[in-house]
Amino acid sequence: MAATTLDRNTKIRLVERTIVLPLATGAKIPYGTMVSVATPSVGAVPAADTATHVVQGWASQSVDQTAGDTKITVLRGVANFANDGTITAADVGQPCTVLDNQTVSKAATTVNDIGAGYIEEVDSDGVWVSFLGGKIAAT
């Protein structure tokens, strides 16, 4: 898949906690997509396979910094995202990486290996990912 600019109906199994993050200048983040913070400390942005990103979870609402939004509430727990086709049931328990704001990949198959979380299950809907926040070591 490709990154989306539209809201996404993300299936959720567990919301473990929420966090509130400031938005980066110009950031537009659709509901249900993965959210990163770009370091050093420029704020929340759509998750991407970009070297400075650290995935935090997924968006609980749509936000647009250019329309006056200043913060986003991010959910952490277990949610379903698209599989780029590299992840199989044999990968359960392993880390996965960000391909774009709605797609995960097998660790070490993306350019910058930006960890999304850990693979809980692979099914016909995609990949169930456990998001913990913070850097995930891609192997």
Q: What is the residue-level pLDDT of the chain in tens, covering all 139 positions?
A: 789 999 999 999 999 999 999 999 999 999 999 999 987 678 999 999 999 899 999 999 999 999 999 999 999 999 999 999 999 999 999 999 999 999 999 967 778 889 999 999 999 999 999 998 766 655 4
Q: Judge whether 135 lies within some domain.
A: yes
Q: Judge whether 50 lies within some domain.
A: yes
User: Cα(82)–Cα(66) distance, rounded to whole angstroms?
Assistant: 28
Q: Judge whether 29 lies within some domain.
A: yes
What total number of domains does the chain contain? 1
Q: What's the whole-model pTM score?
A: 0.93
Find the domain containing 107 and state its range: 10-139
Q: Judge whether 3 lies within some domain.
A: no
Q: Judge whether 2 lies within some domain.
A: no
